Amino acid sequence: MNTFVVLVEDHPGVLTRVSGLIRRRGFNIDSITVGHTETPGVSRMTIAVAADEFGARRIEANLYKLLEVLRVDNVSRRPSIFRELAILKVQTSPETRAQIFQLAQVYRARIIDVSPESLVIEITGNEDKVRSLIDVMTPYGILELARTGRLAMLRGTGTASKPPDHDGQPAQVKADDDGVSHSV
């Protein structure tokens, strides 16, 4: 799985351009999240796509062809933090409620709503952790599940993504080490 952090202009229709481009090049988006960044007018997309190394490079090169894409980083190739938030509505009975509370604690998940026959649990973590909690809760009966999809950030002080300057200076040119430069 490749995770791309993509900085884009905050314009109408940019999400369609990005998702449509990945689709028409024959790749399937596993998850996509969009939100504002620390820079006004710039949105940040985190896109998880299954592709081999050549496929990932093609996706990156194609994304750069969109005028509204400012920067693309494939963070799966560098030390990064991945997080996802999920909320689960789990069926409960007086007998199971305490067990579910305990399990939620093990996962450092929070109970954010309680009703006589259900609980809502909020969990953040990497996908393994979220999936594990879902597996554990499944026997009790998951009534509803909502997940945000993957967010990613490089470890350390280096930032994956700074948009180019507003004066139209192009993004930094970089060449990969394998003899074929794909990004720009």
Binding residues vs other proteins (CB under 8 A):
8-9, 13, 16-17, 20-21, 24, 54, 57-58, 61-62, 64-70, 163-171, 173, 175, 179-184
CB of 6 to other proteins, least distance (A): 11
By beta-carbon proximity to other proteins, the closer residue of 64 and 107 is 64
CB of 44 to other proteins, least distance (A): 14
By beta-carbon proximity to other proteins, the closer residue of 30 and 68 is 68
The two structure tokens encoding residue 29: 């988006």
The SS3 assignment for 55 reads: helix
CB of 21 to other proteins, least distance (A): 8
End-to-end CA distance of the chain: 22
By beta-carbon proximity to other proteins, the closer residue of 77 and 108 is 77
By beta-carbon proximity to other proteins, the closer residue of 32 and 86 is 32
CB of 92 to other proteins, least distance (A): 44
Residues 6+ apart with CB under 8 A from 60: 4, 72, 74, 182, 183
Q: What are phi and psi of 6, to 5 degrees?
A: -125, 120
Chain centroid, CA 2 distance in Å: 10
Residue with tokens 């980083």: 73
Question: How many angstroms separate the CA atoms of 39 and 113, rounded?
Answer: 34
Residue with tokens 């967010």: 151
Nearest alpha-carbon partner for 32 in 14, 15, 57, 17: 15
The SS3 assignment for 9 reads: strand
CB of 80 to other proteins, least distance (A): 23
By beta-carbon proximity to other proteins, the closer residue of 22 and 109 is 22
